[in-house]
Structure 1
Amino acid sequence: MVTVSLALGDITGQHVDAIVNAANSSLLGGGGVDGAIHRKGGPEILAECRALRASRYGKGLATGRAVATTAGRLPAQWVIHTVGPVWSPDEDRSELLASCYRESLRVADELGARTVAFPAISTGVYRWPMEDGARIALATVRAAGTTVSEVRFVLFDQAAHDVFAAQG
């Protein structure tokens, strides 16, 4: 059974086997968590992302899917990139958000990762409401059949941490 914990701070400083990146479909870096991971992880991550785009993901990584690269200079072995959905008031995309967590854990299992750090996927520029994002994240991780022993949700600010903590 997976142990779930919460941490306040910068996901790029987490000493875990795998750090999950809330990536955009291009896999070539962006803002927020994605930009921070690419900046601090160094050019090795971008080089592997470019190779993925040149081979299996020519059109980019689909929403809800996940793929791994090296972690470069981060204190982890791997970065698992997943593309979260943009929140919509008119369309329920909850299953796509849940898929990000399930697929990331599936990739972690394939890698043999035992500890994984997640951000709050889609709750930043993709505008997913934090309360709903936390509910989906925690429920999905707790229900996942995974060999990962610890999932750590790393929340960038106190408000996000408080929302995750309130979800239990």
Structure 2
Amino acid sequence: MIELVLGDITDQDVDVIVNAANSSLLGGSGVDGAIHRKGGPEILAACRELRAGHYGGGLKTGHAVATTAGRLLAKWVVHTVGPVWSDIEDHSSLLDACHRNSVKVASGLGARTIAFPAISTGIYGWPLDSAASIALAATTEQIAELSHITTVRFVLFDQTAYKAFERALKRR
């Protein structure tokens, strides 16, 4: 049910790819930029439609919303905004919400397979070991309630992230 893969999330043949988006929903760097570049203009057009409607102020941290996947192998992209790491305030509940809400949105689409990046661990600075533990706990608990989701794949960009998720998975 839980898979770890070292690779590029934009190459995954799954129903849903989760995008570690910024609140604007209009693309950015890292995973967000890669998904928008490879997915093509269809994703940006769908995000602009969201911004023109209910998400005029952008997507709030921890929330999730779906769009087409454009030219990606996936059917949909679920965009979620991860929290920025702080050693002063605990934002763990927001990182947890990113994963839970992404699974809920994917489930609502009828998805059976979903691929996540290591949300908030890039420019947002979340420590990998902590992010891995939160991500695995949140997704495992959420999919237990949604029996039709058969596979949650964490696609890790480098060996350091892969090892952190591997350690967290072994602790579960």
TM-score, structure 1 normalization = 0.98
Counterpart of 2:157, as a letter, is F
Instruction: Determine the structure 2 residue equivalent to 1:150.
Output: 151
The answer to whether the aligner puts 1:164 opposite 2:162 as a matched pair is no
SS of residue matched to 1:30: coil
Question: What TM-score, normalized by structure 2, do the two folds share?
Answer: 0.96
Return the match for 1:81 from 72, 79, 82. 79
Which residue of 1 is the match for residue 128 of structure 2?
130
* Other-structure match for 2:49: 51
Q: C-alpha displacement at 1:148, in angstroms?
A: 1.3
How many angstroms does 1:25 deviate by?
A: 0.3
Partner AA of 1:133 in structure 2: A
2:18 aligns with one of 20, 26, 38:
20
Q: Map Cα deviations across residues 14-50 of structure 1 (whole Å, 9 max, x no partner).
A: 0000000000000000000000000000000000000
Unaligned 5+ segments in structure 2 are none
1:113 Cα shift?
Answer: 0.3
Match of 2:139 in 1: 141
Q: How many residues align?
A: 166
Paired residue secondary structure (2:155): strand
Counterpart residue identity of residue 8, structure 1: L
Pick the aligned partner of 2:33 from 25, 32, 35: 35
Question: Which consecutive unaligned segments of at least 5 residues does structure 1 have?
Answer: none
Deviations 1:119-145 (Å, cap 9, x if unpaired)?
000000000000000000001111112
Residue 111 of structure 2 corresponds to 113
- Could you tell me how far apart the structure 1 residues matched to 2:91 and 2:102 are? 17
Q: CA deviation at 1:67?
A: 0.2
Q: Secondary structure at the match of 1:33?
A: helix
Q: Which amino acid aligns with 2:166?
A: A
What residue identity is the alignment partner of 1:149?
A: T
Report the residue type matching 1:162 in the other structure.
K
Whole-Å separation in 2 of the counterparts to 1:7 and 1:52 = 31
The structure 1 segments of at least 4 consecutive aligned residues displaced by more than 4 Å after TM superposition are: none
Report percent identity of matched pairs: 66
- Please give the alpha-carbon distance, in whole angstroms, between the structure 1 residues aligned to 2:104 and 2:32: 20
Q: What CA RMSD, in Å, does the superposition of the two structures yield over aligned residues?
A: 0.5
Cα separation, 2, equivalents of 1:143 and 1:22? 20
How far apart in 2 are the matches of 1:128 and 1:160?
11
